[in-house]
């Protein structure tokens, strides 16, 4: 995920200014040390490119491009490359890592440098779309095309940047007309910290579920590096919102507890002076947060959900106790963001430069969803407190939850049977789902709302997989199992039908070219927050693994 908010110098003192050194430097250093101690060892797998494909037009394929005819390249490593320029190699699956090639002379003496262009693509259209007319609104440098001048042959060169791809297009964009050359080796050094084999699904599991499961595993695996990254092609970093979904999925997949622990400690060690967590952090060159004058507070709140679920899964109370003060701090800003009726106040959030995200759908009014997310976080925090015997320290929470739920119910339009958000009284998936997840309504009422919603074409739909995850969870929580199954198999299944090897950051079934960044090739096509089918499929076998 990427911030698309206009930067502002305004800052709210409660977030950015006062309460200096809420946690001591030595405390933060100790947390960072624990993060470092839990750095996973990356597993390296060498992939040697041997296959090529043709990428052709196909209106039924994703972004109208399809890779066809996978075939072994004849004499790839023993013949002149001159007539192979433009070849598209296929690694056979999505990989994240480093690309090394060796190139030498071929039956001639190179009398000039060689200029080679490599384009690495996660999806076929990425290697056939020109980047020259890039008009995106984030750094063009994320696009994975690299032009290399080889001064002398033979040479072995590693592209310095880490790459994320299945397809590699190689073009000779400058070579001597008097000499030929040959690739003598290529190697993709794939890296991941996913270090466990996952049990196969029962054979009777529907084929589409098994396909979704496999691609979800792959997505998660690729995003597991020295932190849970949001995407291996773009951003390369830990965001708390992604982390929550990744951990949920990983509990049913590779179960790399070390990675969750590292992520929790990294966030804590890099907390702001006032004790609130940054929504995202960088690992390199040294762990640091991003100085930005806005704040994705809803992600900081999800930290408590991560910590609570981590203890539930692992029983590691030592870590949870160590980080309890962090969790306790995160929810303390909630009252400041509420109006006198205990409802989330967009005005207050704006004044505090909070980035309200919820989902990519830009039309979304976020009042109700934020209210739900805050309650959800308070609930997770109190659960955590109870499991650690710390209820007294947050004794205010049950009362606050109760008040906020009551307030939320004032936004329920009984006539329509929906929660309505903002002055415009908008009906959206986001609002209904977060009210259900916050248990503002009971299962029975939630079920009615969701049934209504699924048939309602006017309700504002989710803009991407991140919110769709919460929709599925809400359906399951309301016993709408068939609907949950249908949503997973049509939405994530839709990506499968369009050829996904890993699940995408953005997927709007009606339009393959939707991009929050105004340039589809710069979207991430292997994105953490899209990997959660593995969680649903394996946590709820009765829904997804049954015979259909």
Please report, as ranges, the residues that interact with its own copies according to CB under 8 A: 2-3, 7, 108-109, 111-115, 134, 137-143, 146-147, 149-154, 160-162, 173-178, 235, 282, 284-285, 288-292
Query: Which residue matches tokens 């699940």?
Result: 503
Query: Which residue matches tokens 């910590």?
Result: 307
* Cβ at position 427, least distance to its own copies in Å: 33
* Cβ at position 402, least distance to its own copies in Å: 39
| Burial class, 291, CB count within 10 angstroms (exposed 0-12 / middle 13-18 / buried 19+) | exposed
* Cβ at position 161, least distance to its own copies in Å: 5
- Spacing of C-alpha 141 from chain mean position: 20
* Cβ at position 395, least distance to its own copies in Å: 38
* Cβ at position 343, least distance to its own copies in Å: 31
Cα distance between residue 508 and residue 22, in whole Å = 42
Give CA angle at 46 (44, 52), nearest 5°: 140
The answer to whether residues 387 and 312 touch, using CB atoms and an 8 Å cutoff, is yes
Residue 123 makes CB contacts below 8 A (sequence gap 6+) with: 62, 63, 65, 166, 167, 499, 525
Using CA atoms, how far residue 375 sits from 48, 53, 293, 323, 448, in Å, is 50, 50, 25, 21, 21
**106 versus 382: smaller Cβ distance to its own copies:** 106
Half-sphere exposure of 197 (CA within 13 A, CB side): 2
**139 versus 490: smaller Cβ distance to its own copies:** 139
In order, the DSSP letters of 413-469 are ETTTTEE-BTTTTB-BHHHHHHHHHTTSS-HHHHHHHHHHHHH-SSSBPPSSHHHHH
**294 versus 525: smaller Cβ distance to its own copies:** 294
* Cβ at position 524, least distance to its own copies in Å: 12
**90 versus 235: smaller Cβ distance to its own copies:** 235
* Cβ at position 360, least distance to its own copies in Å: 18
Cα distance between residue 542 and residue 1, in whole Å = 32
**145 versus 213: smaller Cβ distance to its own copies:** 145
Instruction: Considering only the C-alpha atoms of the chain, give the largest distance between any 2 of them, rounded to a whole number of Å.
Output: 82
Helical residues (DSSP H) of 104-235, grouped into ranges: 207-223
* Cβ at position 102, least distance to its own copies in Å: 13
**197 versus 291: smaller Cβ distance to its own copies:** 291
3-state secondary structure of 42: coil
* Cβ at position 284, least distance to its own copies in Å: 5
**13 versus 149: smaller Cβ distance to its own copies:** 149
Cα distance between residue 90 and residue 80, in whole Å = 19
**71 versus 140: smaller Cβ distance to its own copies:** 140
**198 versus 292: smaller Cβ distance to its own copies:** 292
């Amino acid at each position: 995920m990427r911030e698309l908010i206009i930067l502002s110098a305004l800052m709210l003192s409660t977030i950015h200014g006062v309460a200096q050194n809420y946690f001591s430097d030595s405390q933060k250093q100790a947390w960072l040390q624990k993060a470092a101690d839990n750095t996973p060892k990356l597993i390296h797998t060498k992939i040697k490119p041997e296959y090529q494909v043709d990428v052709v037009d196909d209106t039924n394929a994703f972004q109208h491009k399809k890779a066809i005819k996978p075939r072994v390249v004849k004499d790839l490593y023993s013949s002149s490359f001159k007539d192979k320029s433009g070849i598209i190699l296929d690694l056979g699956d999505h990989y994240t890592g480093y690309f090394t090639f060796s190139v030498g002379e071929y039956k001639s003496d190179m009398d000039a440098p060689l200029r080679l262009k490599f384009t690495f693509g996660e999806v076929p259209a990425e290697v056939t779309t020109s980047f020259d007319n890039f008009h995106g609104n984030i750094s063009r440098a994320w696009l994975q095309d690299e032009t290399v001048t080889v001064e002398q042959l033979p040479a072995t060169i590693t592209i310095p940047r880490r790459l994320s791809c299945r397809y590699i297009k190689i073009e000779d964009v400058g070579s001597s007309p008097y000499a030929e050359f040959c690739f003598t080796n290529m190697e993709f050094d794939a890296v991941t910290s996913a270090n466990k084999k996952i049990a196969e699904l029962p054979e009777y599991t529907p084929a589409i579920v098994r396909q979704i499961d496999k691609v979800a595993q792959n997505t998660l695996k690729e995003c597991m590096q020295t932190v849970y990254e949001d995407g291996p092609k773009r951003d390369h970093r830990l965001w708390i919102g992604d982390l929550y979904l990744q951990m949920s999925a990983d509990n049913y997949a590779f179960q790399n507890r070390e990675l969750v622990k590292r992520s929790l400690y990294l966030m804590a060690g890099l907390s702001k002076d006032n004790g609130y967590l940054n929504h995202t952090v960088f690992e390199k060159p040294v762990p640091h947060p991003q100085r930005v004058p806005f704040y994705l507070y809803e992600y900081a709140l999800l930290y408590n959900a991560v910590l609570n679920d981590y203890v539930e899964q692992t029983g590691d109370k030592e870590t949870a106790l160590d980080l309890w003060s962090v969790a306790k701090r995160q929810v303390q800003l909630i009252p400041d963001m509420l109006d006198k009726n205990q409802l989330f106040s967009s005005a207050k959030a704006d004044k505090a430069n909070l980035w309200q995200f919820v989902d990519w759908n830009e039309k979304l009014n976020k009042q109700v969803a934020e209210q739900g997310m805050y309650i959800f976080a308070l609930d997770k925090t109190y659960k955590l407190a109870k499991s650690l015997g710390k209820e007294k320290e947050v004794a205010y929470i049950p009362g606050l939850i109760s008040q906020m739920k009551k307030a939320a119910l004032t936004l329920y339009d009984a006539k329509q049977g929906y929660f309505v958000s903002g002055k415009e009284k908008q009906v959206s998936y986001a609002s209904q789902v977060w009210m259900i997840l916050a248990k503002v309504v009971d299962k029975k009422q939630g079920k009615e709302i969701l049934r209504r919603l699924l048939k309602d074409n006017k309700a504002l739909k989710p803009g991407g997989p991140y919110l769709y995850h919460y929709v599925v969870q809400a359906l399951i929580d309301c016993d709408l199992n068939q609907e949950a199954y249908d949503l997973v198999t049509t939405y994530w299944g839709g990506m499968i039908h369009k050829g996904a090897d890993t699940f995408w950051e953005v997927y709007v079934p009606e339009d393959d070219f939707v991009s929050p960044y105004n340039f589809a090739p710069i979207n991430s096509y292997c994105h953490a927050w899209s990997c959660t089918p593995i969680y649903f499929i394996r946590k709820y076998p009765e829904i997804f693994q049954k015979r259909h």
